[in-house]
């Protein structure tokens, strides 16, 4: 997605902005996935639910922190490119759920 943005717009700032936008979704989600796979989260249903809420709050906080830091970390930041990449990466979740649901019904 970032390469496509860079090629279509012809500027390197669009590439880095789109890449940062995708990272704003992917990195916090990976952090949450790692946290949810700990031994503590599988102890009891109540602990698992609290752990899920805790890791979801951590994911949101990290995403917001990354967005706040974006102007300082990405030179010549393009907010439209960043936000489009962020929204498209978020929508991949729906595609993954649909693909996984379709795959499990055929098995």
pLDDT category of residue 6 using cuts at 50, 70 and 90: low
Cβ burial 34-55 (10 Å sphere, 16+ → b, else e): ebbeeeebeeeeeeeeebeeeb
Q: How far apart are CA 64 and CA 58, in angstroms?
A: 10
Short-list 76, 63, 89, CA closest to 4: 89
pTM for this predicted structure = 0.78
pLDDT tens by residue, 41-90: 667 777 788 888 999 999 999 999 999 999 999 988 989 989 999 999 88
Residue 56 CB coordination number (10 Å): 14
Distance (Å, rounded) from C-alpha 32 to C-alpha 67? 17
CA 77, CA 13: separation in Å to the nearest integer?
6
Using an 8 Å Cβ cutoff, are 93 and 81 in contact?
A: no
Region of poorest pLDDT, from 7-11, 22-26, 55-59, 76-80: 7-11
Residue 8 has pLDDT above 80, yes or no: no
């Amino acid at each position: 997605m970032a390469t496509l943005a860079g090629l279509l717009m012809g500027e390197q700032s669009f590439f880095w902005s789109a890449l940062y936008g995708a990272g704003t979704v992917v990195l916090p989600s990976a952090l949450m996935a790692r946290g949810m796979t700990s031994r503590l989260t599988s102890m009891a249903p109540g602990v698992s639910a609290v752990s899920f809420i805790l890791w979801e709050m951590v994911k949101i906080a990290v995403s917001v922190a990354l967005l706040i830091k974006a102007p300082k970390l990405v030179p010549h930041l393009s907010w439209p490119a960043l936000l489009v990449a962020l929204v498209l990466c978020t929508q991949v979740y729906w595609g993954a759920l649909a693909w996984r649901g379709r795959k499990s019904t055929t098995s």
